[in-house]
Chain A
Amino acid sequence: MLTTLAAPRALLALVALALLLALAPALPGGGGARADAATPAPSPGASAPTDVEGETITVRVRTADREDVPGAEVTATGAGVDPVSGTTDDGGAVELVVPGTGTYEVTLDVDSLTGPAAGLLPRENPVQRSVASGSANPVIFQLSEDGGASASAGGVSAGQVAQLVANGLRYGLIIALAAIGLSLVFGTTGLTNFAHGELITFGAIATYFLNVGAGVPFLLAAPLAVVLGGVAGYANDRLLWRPLRRRGTGLVAMMIVSIGLALLLRYLFLYVFGGSTQTYAEYQGQRGLDLGLFTLRPIDLISMAVAAVVLVAVGLVLVRTRLGKATRAVSDNPALAAASGIDVNRVILVVWVAGAALAALSGVLLGLAQQVQYQMGFQILLLVFAAVTLGGLGTAFGAMVGALFIGVFLEVSTLVIPTELRNVGALLVLILVLLVRPQGILGRASRIG
């Protein structure tokens, strides 16, 4: 690998170019909260509403052009409770207070639409929502002339595609941050780490506790959480994985150990954080900036810029520095690297610290883009695996390219398939890649079966 230094350098340029392209349209301004309109994340175990305190479902009704629709009647129904109705205000929003958490069905009365909205159809109606306590529980009806479902049949507007690509790049950058650590840990130690998702969650939850719990400003809490993520990575390697490597524990056994660790950590997060969905104290409810073809919130633009800068920096470190070269050498062939004087254990430790810190950053940004929840990392983990496999297991640059592809593919595929099924599309891509090019886009062809 060291002898073919030119290839990674070319790849780095490619990645940097892709990132620049990703950001270029974003630089002038920002705006759309379409991602917030996506189907709400399923909340585990909450099937029938359970009586606690009153919870709020925030319903917004807007057209595809992001015009708010006042005067629309919406109704929330849940098992065993009376239906709750309301009419949207001038901002197109209404808060429905329902008796407790659980799954509710929110229905928009299409006949109540008046003015320019009359005759438009929502993209999804009714919408199922798992209502969590302490959250705004947003439900958004997006109206268009054909309900949006037939977007594939009719013409797809350039703006629609641009918006999806922008959202996809935002998602892809978050996945990429997490994917590097997963890929490099696999490359250097052979471990398929199922507990990597919990490192992502850790970043978001640490930020939440610092930000909301201790009152630390977000801009300070986020870097602190990333540092804590690095510490978690250090602890991971020193306390668990290095002793296991020394014992000569097999790779499959280590993979199952990582599943046990993932279960332990996930329920530990549930224990300390609770099952509800939370948000950071700041940067909530930002309005999107209209950037011509698409809209993104300012905070999304900043997140994307941070992620892109960090990814380029990681790429430069991998290509330019001695440590980066050593990392790639260990990733390529640990025995040969050790024989040529590289301290393999030290490289692995660095990979763990850096990889876990990047995963924590990914979690921080994911918490901004969506919300903080105890199994957010687990939910994104398979997409990270898809990205890593697509790019080629064990290669950092492959992981970046794969992540951006998966992110954009996820969003753009919603033109053709229902939003709730977009993860199915991405996972199918994962299986198809394994079928036709198991080494991934940038992986070396080697025997993997």
Chain B
Amino acid sequence: MDWSSILGNTARAAIGLETVIYALAAIGLNVQFGYAGLLNFGQAAFVAVGAYGIAVTVTVLGLPFWLGVVVGLVAAVLLAVLLGIPTLRLRADYLAIATIAAAEIVRLTVRSATLRDQTGGSSGLSGFAEGFYDLNPFTPGQSYGFGPWVFGARLAWILVVGWVLVAVCCLVVFLLMRSPWGRVLKGIREDEDAVRSLGKNVYAYKMQALVIGGVIGALAGFVFGVGRASVQPDLYGTELTFFVYTVLLLGGAARVLGPVVGAAIFWVALVLIENVLVQAVGAGYVPDWLMSSTQVGQVRFMLVGLALMLLMIFRPQGIFGDRRELAIDAR
């Protein structure tokens, strides 16, 4: 067992690309689910819209990169409004079913062969990220960082941008939630009827929360698409949403830094489990009949499912959450 490589991989995962993507997606979800109590099971669609916004604008329309960012953001706002109109008046469980259906509609549409010329079908699009990497201030071929955290120039650039986005989003959420607007939002989560009886337009507040969360989700999509330099529709399935929920509940919903901490713990745990198991299988500590190295990936996702169940049952406020903050069944 090569512990230095295991620990190095694990340490890199704490601030890696996946951590940034999931942290951003979970910050958006936190606005919707943690603060407003909206059970949005379509966060994957917002991530997809952000990623495809850039990909389609740059590769198919041949427009500059920054315009792709604008297109992605506008598309996320439109999706949130379209999704919100029929669903926001519904009870939580109906909202969940409607949003998960909408997310599948988005995924099935972009992966369809009919739209292959526009969205690349099931194999997706690539070659749209160069506009972003042209802005890279780091010298190609050199590596940056210290200790175990040494990254190539491209990865270092996207990570810096990603973490700046995470910081900005956290700051925005922090400021929003200590404003009167945030207090109304939390009020809606706790008791919608009470807020309504105070003369607030609950529907409008929910819609605003859905839009803000969706836009932050689209930012996650930018990092996802640009970081991999490609988009592939099946990466934006419902499981992405479920993992984002796990991240959020792990760190603690309705906490500004909950999603960030949750994402780091989630990926550190996943990478650690995978590396240890792969090496244990390779070294023969785990018998062949029990687990092959390809089954390691499945085992860690089984553990994700188990963790989600146990978290929700025994510690719904997550690691750093406040139980009083999270009355997710108030309705």
Contacts and interface: CB of A to CB of B under 8 A. Distances in A.
B96 A268 contact: no
A310 interface: no
A239 B136 CA distance: 55
A249 B328 CA distance: 11
Interface stretch (A81-89, A93-101, A250-258, A353-361): A250-258
B105 A42 contact: no
Given A42-B122, A263-B239, A420-B113, A192 B93 contact: yes
A125 to B, nearest CB: 10
Interface in A195-239: none
B302 A264 contact: yes
Contacts of B122: 42, 103, 128
A427 interface: yes
Given A128-B122, A255-B93, A260-B305, A430 B112 contact: no
Nearest to A130: B122
A268 B298 CA distance: 7
A264 B87 contact: no
A250 B232 contact: no
B305 A261 contact: yes
Interface residues of B, number: 52
Contacts of B307: 260
A255 B96 contact: yes
A267 B316 CA distance: 23
Given A267-B298, A418-B113, A430 B328 contact: no
A155 interface: no
Interface in B299-326: 299, 301-302, 304-313, 316
Given A253-B328, A264-B309, A271-B295, A434 B102 contact: no
A424 interface: yes
Nearest to B82: A431
B97 A244 contact: no
A267 B101 contact: no
B328 A260 contact: no
Q: Which of under 10, 10 to 19, 20 to 34, or 35 or more describes the interface residues of A?
A: 35 or more
A321 to B, nearest CB: 29
B308 A263 contact: yes
Given A249-B313, A251-B93, A431-B98, A382 B302 contact: no
B113 A124 contact: yes
B305 A252 contact: no
Interface string B99-129: 0111011001101111000000111000000
Given A252-B93, A421-B114, 17 more contacts: A249-B313, A253-B328, A253-B329, A257-B312, A259-B245, A260-B246, A260-B312, A261-B309, A263-B302, A382-B104, A420-B108, A421-B112, A423-B108, A424-B109, A432-B86, A434-B97, A438-B90
Interface of B: 39, 85-87, 89-94, 96-98, 100-102, 104-105, 108-109, 111-114, 121-123, 232, 234, 239, 242, 245-246, 249, 295, 298-299, 301-302, 304-313, 316, 328-329
Please list the 7 inter-chain residue pairs (A to B) with the smallest Cβ-Cβ separation, ordered nearest first.
A250-B329, A263-B305, A264-B305, A260-B308, A260-B309, A435-B86, A427-B101
